[in-house]
Amino acid sequence: MDKSKLAIAIPASIISDTPHLREKTSKIGLIARSAAIFRVHEIIIYPDNPRTKQAQELALIAKLLSYIETPQYLRKNLYKIEPDLQYAGILPPLRTPHHPSSGKNRDLKNGEYREGLILNQSKEGLIVDIGVQNTALLRERQFSIGERLTVQVITNGDRIEVQAVNRDYIPSYWGFQVKIESKTFGHMLQTEQFDLVISTARIADRFVDVANKIAERWNRAERVLVAFGAPARGLHEIVSDEGLRIEDVSDFVVNTVPQQGTATVRTEEALLATLAIFNLRFNL
């Protein structure tokens, strides 16, 4: 289990400047890949424009992120064919440990972890799809048909048997969870229990100037949040709508792309740049 669990917060309007669903899908795919590369545990999508209803944007982003995080062998049973997913084929594969490349029984190892889906029940227990040729038996009955869960292979012989496990205790990175936040950004930070909150902004301290101070806090933190603003408005503007200052709800406000050569840095670009820098400095 990792010492620090890293969460990122992205705004609902991250796709507002992208008119076509195909491009929206591509952008969310890039965000998901960046999150997986740098071992993000949770992606929080927050409403950032009180002047417009953002329920549709929040739902679309969450659906695409959840879809790409789901192992391929479970998608057909967990997702219906629907308009929001019509361009899902362009989403890049995550290739994380919980997206195994083999679907053959012979490649399955005792002790291996898998994501599974409860298909039905038998006299002996529950029947689980774990992405190989044969289904597995789970001798526990506290789960419901259609429920997704994380399991560990305990027997791979004439019959595959698995046991349910807590994904938090899996030694390898096991993907990210997706959360739609109903509260505005500032109010979320006033109620959520993060040990360290780092907001990114153009008007902020240069990362190199505060890196050592952040490192001291990071090494002691169990839950870390790194937050990003929207394409048209940064976190300063977003939080000011709530009558707050970004400095009042964040432990650090940093600029990770100083001396930028473009007028703006898109959220997905800032996310990739920031996590790359943090990975080098804090060993994500």
More confident residue, 265 or 227: 227
Three-state secondary structure readout of 130-144: CCCCCCEEECCCCCC
* Topology alike, domains 5-95+184-282 and 105-167: no
Res 3: pLDDT: 62
158 or 131: whose pLDDT is higher? 131
Half-sphere exposure (CA, 13 Å, Cβ side) for 66?
Answer: 16
> Domain ranges in the chain?
5-95+184-282, 105-167
209-232: pLDDT as tens digits: 999 999 999 999 999 999 999 988
Q: How far is CA 64 from CA 27, 168, 254, in A?
A: 10, 23, 29
**What is the pLDDT averaged over residues 49-74?**
93
Specify whether the CB–CB gap between 113 and 152 falls below 8 A. Answer: yes
Domain 5-95+184-282 has CATH 3.40.1280.10: yes
Superfamily of domain covering 105-167: Nucleic acid-binding proteins (2.40.50.140)
Q: What percent of the chain has pLDDT over 70?
A: 99
Q: What is the pTM of this model?
A: 0.94
Report percent pLDDT > 90 for the chain. Answer: 85
Task: Give 1-12 pLDDT, tens digit per residue.
Answer: 446 799 999 999
Give the chain's mean pLDDT: 93
pLDDT digit string, tens, across residues 158-213: 899 999 999 989 999 999 999 999 999 999 998 888 999 999 999 999 999 999 99
pLDDT tens sequence across 243-258: 999 999 999 999 999 8
